[in-house]
Copies of this chain bind each other. A is one copy, B any other.
Amino acid sequence: MQTLQVALGERSYPIHIGERLLARPDLFAPHVRGRLAAIVTNATVGPLYADALERTLVQAGARTLRIVLPDGESHKDWQTLDRIFAALLEARADRGTVLVALGGGVAGDMAGFAAATYQRGIVHLQVPTTLLAQVDSSVGGKTAINHPLGKNMIGAFHQPVAVVADTATLATLPPRELAAGLAEVAKYGAIHDLAFLEWIEAHAGALVARDAAALAHVIQRSCEIKAEIVAADERESGARALLNFGHTFGHAIESAEGYGTWLHGEAVAAGMAMAARFSSRLGRLPAPDAERLIALLEALGLPVQPPRIAPEVWLRYMGRDKKNEAGRITLILLDALGRAAIVKDAPEEPLERFLAAA
């Protein structure tokens, strides 16, 4: 087991990464002993891992409750969130209750936002079971639900008290979900660490083949980079926005196609390909570097071409991005492989031409 620390003063917390951590009561006991621990999971992951987690939580001294949500990004909405609130209120869950998110990014976002707002805030743990959640969404305290008018528009910053990433759960992950997680892994290399990007290029085959050591390495390095960026800028007033590389285009794809049609990581992959091409179009990034990133994404089994979307639809969804200021679209672009920049005044006319040809 590896343990990293997210350094946020009195809100600091550990990320534990390793095999079969779901069976380790010692990792959970400090947070759940003598409390009600409500497992928030979905109809896909619950049948696989909720029994094991529940046994561990009971061994750790908790009473337990299980809340099973429908699976998928299309359910990351208020109606589904309200199921968590109703279940907690029916169980008379008080402020001492701990929510335990078991699943992927959607379960983590929903349980985290429920914890941020139930009785004005309770404690939660993240137990990510997808690669995407282990390398990205379970770390950093961003929680949210979608709104029909925009993705992740309603939410809160609410840090967990611990992240427990059991790499054994990746064995049951469908190939599309594995690739979606690898998109965020490649992102860390592209924005922050050329050496890591090169490592991923060299081990793309091993990663797609689920080599345990290769996966463990990329999870650890991804969490290190994310923890470092989050510690420096918890509320995204600056550098944390770099983690949004590929997401402005990607969120527009998800919104335009209907939540859940594209997996988040798939949309981010196509979004990163677009952002790299647009960086190159603007003369920021050498064209061969853009092509190199795109080739890596393809090697990881990811889409690099967006669906057909009309330019005005692109702009409508991109215009709702949370990074925007004063009506101007903010983009994360590359100045080199391993170095990204926040561009607050993306030139409009080239962007529109780029989108029309995308």
Q: Is A262 an interface residue (CB 8 A)?
A: no
> Chain A: interface secondary structure?
mixed
Known: A94-B324, A96-B325. A120 touches B89 (CB 8 A): no
Bound complex: CA A95 to CA B92 (Å): 35
Bound complex: CA A130 to CA B53 (Å): 50
Bound complex: CA A25 to CA B121 (Å): 35
Known: A119-B322, A120-B322, A322-B119. A153 touches B94 (CB 8 A): no
Q: Is A61 an interface residue (CB 8 A)?
A: no
Contact A144 B157 (CB under 8 A): no
Contact A153 B322 (CB under 8 A): no
Q: Identify which of A68-76, A78-86, A293-301, A345-353 touches chain B.
A: A78-86
Min distance, Cβ A335 to any Cβ of chain B, angstroms: 25
Contact B147 A96 (CB under 8 A): no
Q: Is A320 an interface residue (CB 8 A)?
A: yes
Contact B96 A326 (CB under 8 A): yes
User: What sequence of 0s and 1s flags, for each residue 84-124 of chain A, a beta carbon within 8 Å of any chain B beta carbon?
Assistant: 01100110101110000000000000000000111111000
Task: Kindly identify, within residues 150 to 190 of chain A, every residue whose CB is under 8 Å from any CB belonging to chain B.
Answer: 150, 153-157
* Chain B residues closer than 8 Å to A144, beta-carbon distance: 120
Closest to A316 in B: B92
Q: Is A283 an interface residue (CB 8 A)?
A: no
A-B contact pairs, 9 of them (CB 8 A): A85-B154, A89-B149, A89-B150, A89-B320, A94-B322, A94-B326, A96-B325, A118-B153, A156-B156
